[in-house]
Amino acid sequence: MIVDDFDRSKIQPAGPDRVPNASFRGVRMAQNQNIFDFMCELMDNIDGLARVVELGTCRGSFAAWCHLECQKRGVQFVTYDIKDIREMEDYHVEIGVDFRLGNIFTNRFNEVCQLIQDAGRTVLLCDNGDKKREVWTFAGFLKPGDHILAHDYVPCREVRDYLRQNVWFGCEITDADVAGIVQKRGLRPFLYYRALATAWLSLYKPLEDVKGDENADHNKG
């Protein structure tokens, strides 16, 4: 397990309607209702936060909300997707969302790595089609103090049904999927139960850097 002595009682349910999708400006997100408070808490608890990078724009409502929240804090926001299926494209243009079309594993790979390694703390949100690969690929590029999160997270089979009924229906990444890279890169949980209440796995690279090969595990996972 990512955390020792896992305690299900610390998970905040998503609301009276079990797992309703959050929405922004009338466009549904692929997120539950806990996401707003959690993301604000996350950003406000990272000293020197410089940017938030989203992998997986989808309809664009979460991206629009994140962009505005980052703007309030003087933080850069960038969002990537391999397809442009945004329902909020016009609004994105209006407010200046930095949407970048392309494949994060090929033609956009170096660009994403550079964003992570730029000065200041980076938060990388892995919410594309292959969360496991995203974590394995980009965790090796994190600087000490950077954060990496993955959506549709369920720690293990024992709590899967509970989370699907009370938090979120998706299950695309588990502790077993990322145990190797978490150990290799010395990643640690951050606001773990608050993140789990939104179906996100939240990890960070401690300031005491991990010795070893600094190249990402690009071909694993």
Mean pLDDT, rounded, for 50-61: 98
Give mean pLDDT, residues 35-54. 98
Tell me the domain boundaries of the chain: 19-204
- Class at the top of the CATH hierarchy for domain 19-204: alpha beta
pLDDT band at 178 (very low <50, low <70, confident <90, very high): very high
pLDDT of residue 179: 97
66-89 mean pLDDT = 98
Q: For residue 11, what pLDDT is reported? A: 85
Task: Report which of residues 9 and 150 the model is more confident about.
Answer: 150
Q: What is the pLDDT of residues 100-134, one digit of tens each?
A: 999 999 999 999 999 999 999 999 999 999 999 99
From residue 165, give the alpha-carbon distance in Å to each of 104, 111, 168, 192, 211: 32, 38, 7, 19, 41
Question: How much is the pLDDT for 23?
Answer: 94
Q: Averaged over 40-56, what is the pLDDT?
A: 98
200 strand-pairing partners: 151
